Structure 1
Amino acid sequence: MQPSNAFAWTRQELTVDGVALDVATAHRGGTRAPILFLHGFGSTKEDYTDIALRPAFDGHPVVAYDAPGCGDSVCGDLTALSIPFLVDTALAVLDRLGIERFHLVGHSMGGLTALMLASRHPGRVLSFVDIEGNVAPEDCFLSRQIVSHPAADDKAFLDGFIERNRRSPAHAAPLFASSLPHKVRAGAVRGIFESMVELSDHADLMATFLGLPFPRMFMYGDQNASLSYLPRLDAAGVELAEIPQCGHFPMYSNPPAMWARVAEFQGKVPDPWW
């Protein structure tokens, strides 16, 4: 017998910016405010499906999906991928599922996608948990490798990226590396990484993040507590969530602490009058 908060696993056939997509989606219904999860590069919707086992989130509709070029989603043109394209994809998924207002949670690439989505439609977002999403140039420690480690072709770059992460001393980096061949298409990497670097270097993401008009949390692993901008976020009223025994991937290294902080934060935001 399935629990009442179980996910429906479906596919959404969409056309985004002229590109045909078949988006693998996990979603469930509920009577409270919906939560949209946007995963990071090399991750998938399954990073967040344990929410069904967390009673603090009972009653909340939840949407998670594999970004184009990742997981089980199919993209008709991998060369079209960029952060703006991923924002358009998120909006298309929300519209297909009939979701107008929502809590937003994004990790890394998904955090940057979420930031750009929130800046475009601030009236639709109830709260934003940014899990080490890009807000400054220093956040491109993974994506900037597209510049610092050039390769002959997409596969060669991805192979090298995997090997560098496998040897990294960061929490969960080898685990992340081991799954990359199964979770991301090599042709998806360049457009996403180049877009992340361009936005981080030139779009003043910090000003965008600090200017958002709803509650914001910035979550980071204690291994990354040296991020230079954390005092600025704190001074601006952004709630900081340092996750112990963790690096860039709290959903792998310390999920109980991650879920507890997300639940506490979102629990302070009243459900809207529909």
Structure 2
Amino acid sequence: MPTHDQIAKETVTLHVQGVELEVATVHRAGELAPIVFLHGFGSTKEDYVDIVRHPAFAGRPFIAYDAPGCGATRCGDPSKVSIPFLVATAKAVLERFGIGNFHLVGHSMGGLTALMLAHEQSHRLLSFVDIEGNVAPEDCFLSRQVVDYPADTADAFFEDFIERTWRSPFYSSALYASSLRHKVRVEAVRGIFTSMVELSDHGDLMTKFLSMPFPRMFMYGEQNASLSYLPHLRANGVKLAEISRSGHFPMYSNPVEMWERLAGFLTPASAE
């Protein structure tokens, strides 16, 4: 049985766009091309640590880290965090760990970050799994609340956001909402959400996604099977993975099926 002894926890100091970061990472070394995992808003690197529990990924190196403004990563100025800042952070992490070609997996906020990173670094990507990351304006059901539900202070907005999320009728929403205060710096919320809305509305994300030359998979929960663009993705060569008994958070609602679908996609794509 794989154990957590196979992975290393390491905090690395980086400077990104003039901001000092102490980035909390988990990683495992190996000879094959690594998987780079990017978590979503309100989540952490621990979403992906169970990779060591799955024999299909035996020997596969990987890295996951807490994004600035989230988890155990310390950020000198959380108000500077945005999707472009997170892309710059990802590039700094890749450089710090000497990562060349890699497989990329991103969820939600991390999926959008990953899409922008993959667009910039397409020559290095071996595959890309987008887990409910933003590719169209309709994906801003969380982030657009910064526009739709204005509040007098950042704290007031975040408290109301947590309550709305807790009461959402989607799988794992209450579980997710219950830890938001502990996993997100409130000063980072507005910059993240406003940049997600801006890119989703005006960033031509679908064109970027469909133009990528490497294998791609879009993963979504069955509660989001009505997303209007799913047939368009399929028609343009993107593999679809619908996770049963799940909404926006398959790693919380149905992790067994999530990891099975990731393994089924990444193993054939992992000849290197």
Name the TM-score class by shorter chain: over 0.9
* Structure 1 residue 31, shift from structure 2 partner: 1.6
* Structure 1 residue 79, shift from structure 2 partner: 1.5
Match in the other structure for 1:86: 86
3-state DSSP of counterpart to 2:248: coil
Identity of counterpart residues, as a percentage?
Answer: 65
* Structure 1 residue 68, shift from structure 2 partner: 0.3
For the 8 Å contact 2:140–2:196, the answer to whether it is kept is yes
Structure 2 letter corresponding to 1:93 = V
When normalised by structure 2's length, the TM-score is: 0.98
Partners of 2:45 and 2:189 lie apart in 1 by 18
Q: Give 1:14-163 correspondences, 5 Å limit.
A: 14-163=14-163
Classify 1:55/1:2 alpha carbon distance in 2 versus 1 (closer, same or farther; 3 Å).
closer
1:211 equivalenced with 2:239 (yes/no) = no
Measured against aligned partners, the alpha-carbon deviations of 1:60-98 in whole angstroms (never above 9, x if no partner) come to: 111000000100001101121110100010111111111
After the TM superposition, which segments of 4 or more aligned residues of structure 1 sit over 3 Å from their partners? 1-5
Classify 1:271/1:5 alpha carbon distance in 2 versus 1 (closer, same or farther; 3 Å).
farther
Partners of 1:67 and 1:3 lie apart in 2 by 25
3-state DSSP of counterpart to 1:234: helix
Uncovered stretches (5+) of structure 1, i.e. residues with no partner: none
3-state DSSP of counterpart to 2:9: strand
Match in the other structure for 1:199: 199
3-state DSSP of counterpart to 2:196: helix
For the 8 Å contact 1:5–1:58, the answer to whether it is kept is no
Measured against aligned partners, the alpha-carbon deviations of 1:223-252 in whole angstroms (never above 9, x if no partner) come to: 000000000000001000000000000000
For the 8 Å contact 1:5–1:52, the answer to whether it is kept is no
Q: Give 1:237-248 correspondences, 5 Å limit.
A: 237-248=237-248
Coordinate RMSD, CA, aligned: 1.3
3-state DSSP of counterpart to 1:79: helix
Q: Give 1:150-189 correspondences, 5 Å limit.
A: 150-189=150-189
Number of positions where the alignment pairs a residue of Structure 1 with one of Structure 2? 272
Uncovered stretches (5+) of structure 2, i.e. residues with no partner: none
3-state DSSP of counterpart to 2:269: coil
Partners of 1:187 and 1:132 lie apart in 2 by 24
3-state DSSP of counterpart to 1:266: helix
Partners of 2:4 and 2:65 lie apart in 1 by 20
* Structure 1 residue 153, shift from structure 2 partner: 1.1
Partners of 1:43 and 1:98 lie apart in 2 by 25
